[in-house]
Structures are given as C-alpha cells and as structure tokens.
Chains A and B, each alone.
Chain A
Amino acid sequence: MQIRISSSDGIPIYRQIVNQVKYLVAAGRLTAGDQLLSVRTLAEQLVVNPNTVSRAYRELESAGVITARQGSGAFVTDNGSPLALREKRKVLRERVDMLLAEADSLDVDVTTVIKLLRDRSRKFKSE
C-alpha cells in the first residue's frame, strides 16, 4: 500500500489517505478482498497519529470502499466497475480543478493548457 503524505498541503492528512486509497482501488492496485494495513501499521509507516488513520478508514468504510471485519482488519469491498469509473473521474476532476486554478493564477489560458496536455500525453505514450 504505497501512500504518501504531504505535511503542508492545505489538505488534511486523513483526507489525503482517503483520496489515495480510493485512487489505488480505482487504479486496480488494490483489488476486492485485499486487506489494508492495520491502523497502527499504517500510522507508523506514515508517521501520523493513529486516530488520523482511523478517521480515514471510517470515511472509506462509509463510502463503501472498504469494510471492517471485527478483529481481522479492513478489506477492500467488492465494488462493481461503475463505481470504480465514477471514482476515477472524481479523482481526475480534483486534479483538473487544481491544474485549472494554477493555470488561472499564472494567467495561462485553457487552450494552452489543453495543448500542454496533448504534448505531454504524446510523450507519455512514447516512453
């Protein structure tokens, strides 16, 4: 479970964990039935308070992404592809919003952004 936390992001740590787990699931790197790291283990790995991890896991559970089985841990749920697709779009939409905000503050118009996206996509595919 590769998760990275940024200390001074403006995004609360628990939310970063939630977003990244959702992303891992949507990207297929965590699949149905996979067991998540225990709260304690993940807290130690990320060097954050265990309550922060608990909070993230609770939110993931109420979002239906994971399910906690008493005593044995948290597992990725068996969610159909429509949800995964919705999640994928949501993750990307957040990143698009950040990109647009940054472009706006740099005074770069959206046509230039789209061209940049196309250029980078081409480079990406050729590697």
Chain B
Amino acid sequence: MSDVIVNFDRLSRSFGAKQALNEVTLQVERGSVFGLVGENGAGKTTLIRHVLGLLKAKLGAVRVFQLDPVQHPKDVLGRIGYLSEDRDLPDWMTVAQLLRYSQAFYREWDETFADQLRDQFDLDPRQKIKQLSRGQRARAGLVVALAHRPDLLILDEPSSGLDPVVRRDILTAIIRTVADEGRTVLFSSHLLEEVERVADWVAMIRNGRVGLSGPLPDILQNHRRLVLRFESPQLTEPDLPGAISCQGTGREWTVMCNGGVEELRAAASRAGARIVDDDTPTLNEIFLAMASSSTDPRGAS
C-alpha cells in the first residue's frame, strides 16, 4: 500500500482568462493532516474539486488512492468524507432522512457510529435541515462525512462562520480521524491558528501557485521574526538581505526571514539596529509576511 494518498503533479487549470491553478505539485501522505492555506480565491477549492473528480485535470494530473478520480468515481468517492464550505445539504430532508440517504452511498457506513455522532452533536433526528442553525448544519454535514470512517477526510474551509464550540468539534474530528491509523485529512482554511494546532504539513497557495510547502514544524523553525530598533528613525524601508518582509516606521521595524538568520542579525547590526525581539513567528505572521511580499511565489520548497 502506497503512502501517498493524494498526488498533484504539475496541475494547472484556467477558467477563461483566470489562471486558477499553476503547476501545483504536492503529495498528501497517509496518516497526515495536510493544511491548505491561502486567501479567498487563491485556488484551494479548485484544487479540492480536482480531488473529488468534480473537475477533470486538463494540464497535469491528480491521483487519489493512486486512481484518477474522474475514471474511478465510486472507488475514490466511496472512501472520501467531504464537508464543503457551504455545507450543501438537502434542506427539505430531516436529519434522520439525511443519514439514511447518505448511508446508501457508502459501503463502510456504520449506523451505530452515525447515531453516536448524531447524539454527541445534539442533532434532533426529526428536525428538517432547513431549520438547523449554521453550526448544526455543519455538524450534520460532519456526521455524514465521518460515519463511514473515510480513508480521506476533506474539509473545505470547515470553520468559516462558525462559533468556537462547533469549530472545536470539527478540529476534534480531524484529530480523531488521523489518530485512527491509516486515515488522512486534507483541509483548507484561512484560520491559521487552527491550522497551526492540527496540521502536520502545510502548503500555502497564492494566485494558484504553491508558495511554501513543508512539514509544519520545519516551516516554523526555519522562519524567524526579529524586531529591530534603529539608532535613528528610518525614512524608508531598511534594505536587509534575506528579509521576506519588513514592516514598521521610524525606529522600530519588524523583519521576517526564512533561514539565514545569522546573516540578517549581522546586517541589522551593521545598519545600526539593536535586536529587541527575536522569536519564532506564528503561522499567521508568516502568512501575512508572504502575502505582503512583492515577489511572486515559485514552486514547492
């Protein structure tokens, strides 16, 4: 059994004039939590649609469980649990009907488990989907995604618009899925605090390109955030080698780098600055630094 659950090989896709994906090459390994981050419109949903076989790869390829999802829809989708961003569920059904309806699609559906989840999430089986609050809708969608114990759980912006309690249910579901051996999670999110808690691997997508990709611990370790205090106020942005971003005014400037910390520290010193803060940035800070950087992201690291 191969360890690569999802393989994107130079996947490109445009919609008219817009280039939605540009040479995306990524591998999602079995048993990992893979976090896809990027601004709205960066290409995350387009990428996920390829995994589900909703979009056919025109340039490049995508393989899920070593299969082409368009050629083998049943084999691929039968092992995937999917929660979309808009929680697209049939409004007219009751919760019980939704579960019975979903059961038909999945060989591995566990009715007892589905009931347990429904109960745990406090979903009234007799309530119609359209009567559910946003959070309850998300929970209903989560039951459907989890009840057949999918080999691959895909969540597209699962937390958007949800309160902390539901968000925690979703994150817990992610953790439980990978804690069960052999199961994998792919999720896209712009809530980077959450991604930082649960992801093993993170890929940043920007304008359809992969800007940064690697194990989360490595990404965090390689980046460094320095706060510099200059002897005299700087009228323009100080020119420091290796700085991904440089923000500030006057005497105090915050600089971010990806490797090359020693050189940066030395350059700061030569430029007449004292280092007043020197630590590991959060994923959010890295993301913002890259977003503000003027260079166009190049392929995976």
Interface residues of chain A, those whose CB is within 8 Å of chain B, are: 5, 7-8, 10-14, 39-40, 43-44, 47-51, 55, 105
The 9 closest A-B pairs by CB, nearest first: A10-B279, A7-B193, A40-B179, A8-B282, A48-B197, A47-B171, A49-B198, A50-B179, A43-B175
Inside 8 A of A47's CB, which chain B residues have their CB? 168, 171-172, 175, 197-198
Interface residues of chain B, those whose CB is within 8 Å of chain A, are: 33, 168, 171-172, 175-176, 178-179, 193, 196-200, 217, 220, 225, 276-277, 279-282, 284
Distance in Å: Cβ of A81 to nearest Cβ of chain B: 33
The CA of A44 and the CA of B174, in the complex, are separated in Å by 10
A-B pair count, CB < 8 Å, reads: 51
Q: Are A49 and B284 in contact (CB under 8 A)?
A: no
The CA of A48 and the CA of B277, in the complex, are separated in Å by 27
Given A8-B282, A10-B281, A44-B175, also A49-B200 (CB < 8 A): yes
- Residue in chain B with minimal CB distance to A104: B276
Distance in Å: Cβ of A43 to nearest Cβ of chain B: 5
Q: Are A12 and B198 in contact (CB under 8 A)?
A: no
Inside 8 A of A44's CB, which chain B residues have their CB? 172, 175-176, 179
Q: Are B276 and A105 in contact (CB under 8 A)?
A: yes
The CA of A59 and the CA of B268, in the complex, are separated in Å by 34
Q: Are A8 and B193 in contact (CB under 8 A)?
A: yes
Q: Are A49 and B220 in contact (CB under 8 A)?
A: no
- Residue in chain B with minimal CB distance to A9: B282
Distance in Å: Cβ of B166 to nearest Cβ of chain A: 13
Contact for A12 among B179, B200, B220, CB less than 8 A = B220
Distance in Å: Cβ of B200 to nearest Cβ of chain A: 6
Inside 8 A of A10's CB, which chain B residues have their CB? 225, 279-282
Inside 8 A of B225's CB, which chain A residues have their CB? 10
The CA of A12 and the CA of B225, in the complex, are separated in Å by 14
| Pairs across A and B, CB under 8 Å, 19 listed | A7-B196, A7-B282, A8-B193, A8-B282, A8-B284, A10-B225, A10-B280, A10-B282, A12-B220, A44-B172, A47-B168, A47-B198, A48-B197, A49-B199, A49-B200, A50-B175, A50-B179, A55-B217, A105-B277
